[in-house]
Structure 1
Amino acid sequence: MSEGGALSSTNPTFEQDGIDVPKRAFITGITGQDGSYLAELLLAKGYEVHGLVRRSSSFNRGRIDPIYLDAEAGERLFLHYGDMTDGVSLVNLVLEIQPDEVYNLAAQSHVRVSFEMPEYTASADGIGTVRLLEAIRAAKLDCRFYQASTSEMFGATPPPQNEKTLFYPRSPYAAAKLYAHWMTVNYREAYDMYAVSGILFNHESPRRGETFLTRKVTKAVAAIKGGHQDILMLGNIDAVRDWGYAKEYVEGMWRMLQADEPTDYVLATGVGTTVRDFVELAFQHVDLDWRDYVMFDDKYERPTEVDALIGDPSKARELLDWKAQTDVEALAKLMVDADIAALAEISPPDPR
């Protein structure tokens, strides 16, 4: 089987009994940052979108609720209860939905938390992927499968990292994702499934969870500027990451499933930035000196650190015509602005 190739002329509709029917996409992790952006993208392209939602005592749908306000798009968005640790629910949903495309974005995705919950992380991120692949295989669906892999799988391997770089995971999260990655490759080769892994480097947005580094920083900048917070506690600020804009990266996910042949791709900007530099950019945007507000706390350090992740997206640029457009400075600014706007909605500005 050849790798990659030109994008197919796949249309978001197909003909069934003489009627144009929208393509169906099934997104696990639809309530997350990537899931919500991907849902918007696919709905804009005319898809019918189905999403997996975990049952909990409190609602966690803030990122996708606005989609329902769009009457036309909301009519093509359907949510289903299920869980990546429950294989039966996945089998039933795949049989019910009969998707044309499946995007597996669900995960326990916080690296630091994975050290505290290694077994759950392995079950949700690693075995959960196999449960979903088996559900598709058992249903004998002719669909295309996207697996959300991660740059964390490279771990201790020095940059730049591309699709041929050796993996060296340095956390339970990375190890679980690596298992899911290789199982996706295995199902592609063993069962001739159209299954791809997108190895995405750090991608952020105003929808990023508040416990993740970049959002923690920009939310704190907004709060400090508004007089609602005094300091920001951080761990290792010397780590280097390749930060891009999540809204652009979900376009890359979709493009991977439109290619003629399945293969794996790195999505990245190709530019490395230290945590210190990101922090400085965020504080500079509101005319503050970060050194007056940032303090070190070793509880935020990982047991095993990943020093530098910088991706080489050449393959995606060549085969998918995909390229990151938003640089880290613009990303920091748009995230700070969004957090300032969000804070203004709930708290009046400090008169100081």
Structure 2
Amino acid sequence: MTRRALITGITGQDGSYLAEFLLDKGYEVHGIIRRASTFNTGRIDHLYVDPHTPGARLFLHYGDLVDGSRLVALLAEIAPDEVYNLGAQSHVRVSFDEPELTSESTALGTVRLLEAIRHSGLNCRFYQASSSEMFGSSPPPQNENTALHPRSPYGTAKLFAYWSTRNYREAYGLFTVNGILFNHESPRRGETFVSRKITRAVARIRAGLDAHVYLGNINAVRDWGYAPEYVDGMWRMLQADTPDDYVLATGTGHSVRDFLALAFDAAGLDWERHVRFDDRYLRPAEVDTVIGDATKAHATLGWKPQVLLPELVRIMVEADIRALEHGGTPTVDCPALPGWPTRTEARHLR
């Protein structure tokens, strides 16, 4: 029997890779997207098949994590075997400007979804996208037993969602897991995130379109991995015999300065000639170093990352250069098929 998955945040980087991954495994995939006046499905356009076509396995539904009644209705309609909660206000710096919005979607949105599952009586498995930002100022390496000390509204909202997920597992016997993912990037990363901001700037500077890129703290150290490998880890967590929480990370730390050097070097450029400091990009409270220890995921799930920072940066820089040469942005890693942007909403949204 075909398994059915529901993904919140399906139009984001992780959601698009997860949708691909699950479709390749034969799942029927349902995604929740927010209503907007413009199409925001660029990362998944290449997966499009008209849902009225026999054999179609990807379906999108309007919904929002701030609308609990809609979540209840969707769960009753879809009856998923697995739920992946990837939806959130996910930009750390923005969370300082919009702490209430971040808490509403990232923290309370998770509770609404868990409550919808509990009251529906569905026998489904639930994945919560937790974050290394929950560790904050705790010293590395960080694993499942490290003290949690978030340093941003985003981190505190993720911490609320993390403990809520554990509480629903312990209090109600639901199969709920937390994936504590460290930074994971790809050509589909949003352009305002520092990794993609850098690789996109490299492409534009190389083409003579820009001269500089403006950044904040380039001494921050992060554990960077490759997003497609991390969605495999998400799936593995929900296939385990018992629910638990897992760190996914490469175990290697590099500064933003290191990322800059690799990215500009990939295009034959000297980063120090093109990078400028702008204090607008500093956070009120900084997280200096996060480096994950994924020993538990290696041992229990058989998950181990293969792509480390030098290869990851090369992949992203080359994708941004190719996209610029073709007049677009690499929201997908292959040419997008025609479909959704030219069809009416009624054709592909329910």
Normalising by structure 2, we get a TM-score of 0.92
2:80 aligns to what?
Answer: 99
User: Following TM superposition, where does structure 1 have runs of at least 4 consecutive aligned residues deviating by more than 6 angstroms?
Assistant: 70-74
State how far apart, in whole Å, the 2-side matches of 1:299 and 1:178 are. 26
Give 2:12's match in structure 1, choosing from 29, 32, 35.
32
1:306 aligns to what?
Answer: 287
Q: Deviations over 1:226-255 (max 9, x none)?
A: 111110100000000000000000000000
State how far apart, in whole Å, the 2-side matches of 1:216 and 1:73 are. 41
1:113 aligns to 2:94 (yes or no): yes
Q: 1:117 to 1:74 in 2, by over 3 A?
A: farther
1:23 aligns to what?
Answer: 3
1:288 aligns to what?
Answer: 269
1:5 aligns to what?
Answer: none
1:125 aligns to what?
Answer: 106
Alignment of 1:196-215 (within 5 A): 196-215=177-196
State how far apart, in whole Å, the 2-side matches of 1:323 and 1:303 are. 34
2:226 aligns to what?
Answer: 245
State how far apart, in whole Å, the 1-side matches of 2:91 and 2:55 are. 30
State how far apart, in whole Å, the 1-side matches of 2:252 and 2:23 are. 31
CA contact (8 A) 1:84 1:124 kept: yes
SS at match of 1:227: coil
Give 1:52's aligned amino acid: I
State how far apart, in whole Å, the 2-side matches of 1:303 and 1:89 are. 36
Gaps of 5+ in 1: 1-20, 348-352
SS at match of 2:48: helix
State how far apart, in whole Å, the 1-side matches of 2:141 and 2:6 are. 33
1:190 aligns to what?
Answer: 171
CA contact (8 A) 1:125 1:177 kept: yes
Q: CA RMSD in A?
A: 1.3
1:59 aligns to what?
Answer: 39
Q: Deviations over 1:153-204 (max 9, x none)?
A: 0001110000000000000000000000000000000000000000000000
State how far apart, in whole Å, the 1-side matches of 2:172 and 2:89 are. 27
How far residue 69 of structure 1 moved from its aligned partner, in angstroms, is 5.7
How far residue 258 of structure 1 moved from its aligned partner, in angstroms, is 0.2
Q: Deviations over 1:45-72 (max 9, x none)?
A: 0000000000011111000111016999
Normalising by structure 1, we get a TM-score of 0.91
State how far apart, in whole Å, the 2-side matches of 1:309 and 1:38 are. 24
CA contact (8 A) 2:49 2:58 kept: no
1:175 aligns to what?
Answer: 156
1:49 aligns to 2:43 (yes or no): no
CA contact (8 A) 2:49 2:56 kept: no
Q: How many residue pairs were aligned?
A: 327
State how far apart, in whole Å, the 2-side matches of 1:102 and 1:327 are. 29
State how far apart, in whole Å, the 2-side matches of 1:270 and 1:33 are. 22
CA contact (8 A) 1:25 1:102 kept: yes
How far residue 295 of structure 1 moved from its aligned partner, in angstroms, is 0.6
Gaps of 5+ in 2: 329-350
CA contact (8 A) 1:240 1:309 kept: yes
SS at match of 1:80: strand
CA contact (8 A) 2:178 2:246 kept: yes
Give 1:255's match in structure 2, choosing from 212, 229, 236.
236
State how far apart, in whole Å, the 2-side matches of 1:45 and 1:216 are. 32
CA contact (8 A) 1:31 1:64 kept: yes
State how far apart, in whole Å, the 1-side matches of 2:279 and 2:34 are. 33
Q: Percent identity?
A: 65
How far residue 74 of structure 1 moved from its aligned partner, in angstroms, is 7.9
State how far apart, in whole Å, the 1-side matches of 2:267 and 2:8 are. 37
